[in-house]
Amino acid sequence: MTPVRVVLPATLRSLAGISGEAVIDVDVDGDGEVTTAAVLDALDRCYPVLRWTLREQQSGSRRPFIRFFACQEDLSLELLDAPLPAAVAAGREPLVVIGAIAGG
Protein backbone atom coordinates (compact mmCIF):
# COMPACT_ATOMS: atom_id res chain seq x y z
CA MET A 1 0.00 0.00 0.00
CA THR A 2 1.12 3.52 -0.68
CA PRO A 3 -0.61 6.83 0.03
CA VAL A 4 -1.98 8.53 -3.11
CA ARG A 5 -3.47 12.01 -3.38
CA VAL A 6 -6.76 12.34 -5.27
CA VAL A 7 -8.65 15.49 -6.22
CA LEU A 8 -12.33 14.82 -6.80
CA PRO A 9 -15.05 16.98 -8.37
CA ALA A 10 -16.85 19.18 -5.86
CA THR A 11 -20.06 17.16 -6.22
CA LEU A 12 -18.33 13.97 -5.14
CA ARG A 13 -16.36 15.67 -2.36
CA SER A 14 -19.65 16.93 -0.98
CA LEU A 15 -21.25 13.49 -1.33
CA ALA A 16 -18.38 11.73 0.45
CA GLY A 17 -17.75 14.45 3.03
CA ILE A 18 -14.23 15.14 1.80
CA SER A 19 -12.68 18.57 2.17
CA GLY A 20 -9.76 19.29 -0.11
CA GLU A 21 -7.68 16.42 -1.42
CA ALA A 22 -8.31 12.85 -0.39
CA VAL A 23 -5.27 10.86 0.61
CA ILE A 24 -5.90 7.14 0.40
CA ASP A 25 -3.86 3.98 0.75
CA VAL A 26 -3.65 2.26 -2.61
CA ASP A 27 -2.48 -1.24 -3.53
CA VAL A 28 0.81 -1.42 -5.37
CA ASP A 29 1.01 -4.04 -8.13
CA GLY A 30 3.71 -6.67 -8.61
CA ASP A 31 5.86 -4.26 -10.57
CA GLY A 32 5.76 -1.72 -7.79
CA GLU A 33 3.39 0.51 -9.74
CA VAL A 34 0.03 2.10 -8.99
CA THR A 35 -2.81 1.92 -11.53
CA THR A 36 -5.89 4.07 -11.96
CA ALA A 37 -8.00 1.00 -11.23
CA ALA A 38 -6.22 0.49 -7.92
CA VAL A 39 -6.89 4.13 -6.97
CA LEU A 40 -10.56 3.76 -7.84
CA ASP A 41 -10.77 0.51 -5.85
CA ALA A 42 -9.22 2.28 -2.86
CA LEU A 43 -11.68 5.16 -3.22
CA ASP A 44 -14.57 2.67 -3.16
CA ARG A 45 -13.11 1.07 -0.06
CA CYS A 46 -12.61 4.32 1.83
CA TYR A 47 -15.77 6.03 0.59
CA PRO A 48 -18.43 3.43 -0.31
CA VAL A 49 -20.83 6.17 -1.41
CA LEU A 50 -18.53 6.81 -4.37
CA ARG A 51 -18.93 3.27 -5.69
CA TRP A 52 -20.09 3.36 -9.35
CA THR A 53 -19.85 7.14 -9.57
CA LEU A 54 -16.67 7.00 -11.66
CA ARG A 55 -17.05 3.62 -13.35
CA GLU A 56 -19.95 1.98 -15.18
CA GLN A 57 -21.77 -0.71 -13.22
CA GLN A 58 -21.62 -3.55 -15.73
CA SER A 59 -18.41 -2.95 -17.66
CA GLY A 60 -16.31 -1.33 -14.96
CA SER A 61 -15.10 1.15 -17.56
CA ARG A 62 -14.66 4.90 -17.00
CA ARG A 63 -17.97 6.76 -17.09
CA PRO A 64 -18.18 8.81 -20.30
CA PHE A 65 -18.05 12.27 -18.67
CA ILE A 66 -15.26 11.43 -16.24
CA ARG A 67 -11.68 12.40 -17.07
CA PHE A 68 -8.40 11.57 -15.28
CA PHE A 69 -5.55 14.10 -15.28
CA ALA A 70 -2.11 13.91 -13.63
CA CYS A 71 1.19 15.71 -14.10
CA GLN A 72 -0.36 17.98 -16.74
CA GLU A 73 -1.38 14.96 -18.83
CA ASP A 74 -4.83 13.68 -19.80
CA LEU A 75 -4.80 10.01 -18.86
CA SER A 76 -8.47 9.44 -19.59
CA LEU A 77 -7.93 7.26 -22.62
CA GLU A 78 -5.29 5.09 -20.96
CA LEU A 79 -6.39 1.65 -19.78
CA LEU A 80 -7.51 1.66 -16.17
CA ASP A 81 -4.88 -1.02 -15.54
CA ALA A 82 -2.08 1.13 -16.96
CA PRO A 83 0.45 2.46 -14.39
CA LEU A 84 0.06 6.05 -13.22
CA PRO A 85 3.05 8.43 -13.39
CA ALA A 86 5.67 7.78 -10.72
CA ALA A 87 5.02 11.18 -9.18
CA VAL A 88 1.42 10.13 -8.43
CA ALA A 89 2.50 6.79 -6.98
CA ALA A 90 5.04 8.64 -4.83
CA GLY A 91 2.44 11.10 -3.58
CA ARG A 92 4.21 14.13 -5.08
CA GLU A 93 1.36 14.84 -7.52
CA PRO A 94 -2.37 14.14 -7.23
CA LEU A 95 -4.58 12.15 -9.57
CA VAL A 96 -7.18 14.73 -10.62
CA VAL A 97 -10.68 13.45 -11.42
CA ILE A 98 -12.64 15.88 -13.59
CA GLY A 99 -16.33 15.95 -14.46
CA ALA A 100 -16.18 16.94 -18.12
CA ILE A 101 -17.62 20.30 -19.09
CA ALA A 102 -20.89 19.37 -20.77
CA GLY A 103 -24.45 20.55 -20.91
CA GLY A 104 -24.06 24.00 -22.51
- Best CA proximity match to 100, nearest among 5, 20, 6, 11: 11
Minimum CB distance to another protein smaller for 30 or for 59: 59
Question: Minimal CA–CA distance to 93: which of 62, 72, 67, 66?
Answer: 72
Residue 85 to residue 79: CA distance in whole angstroms = 13
For another protein, give the closer residue by CB, 61 or 90: 61
Minimum distance from residue 98 beta carbon to another protein (Å)? 10
* Shortest Å, Cβ 75 to another protein: 18
Which residue, 86 or 100, is less far from another protein as judged by CB? 100
- Under a CB-based contact definition with an 8 Å cutoff, are residues 48 and 41 in contact? no
Site for another protein, rule CB under 8 A:
9, 11-12, 15, 48-49, 51-54, 56-58, 63, 65-66, 99-100, 102-103
CB 95 within 8 A of CB 70: yes
At its nearest, how many Å lie between another protein and the CB of residue 76? Answer: 13
The distance of closest approach from Cβ of residue 79 to another protein in the complex, given in angstroms and rounded to an integer, is 21
Instruction: State CA 70 to chain mean position distance.
Output: 10
Using the minimum distance from each CB to another protein, give the nearer residue, 45 or 51.
51
Question: One-letter amino acid identity for 39?
Answer: V
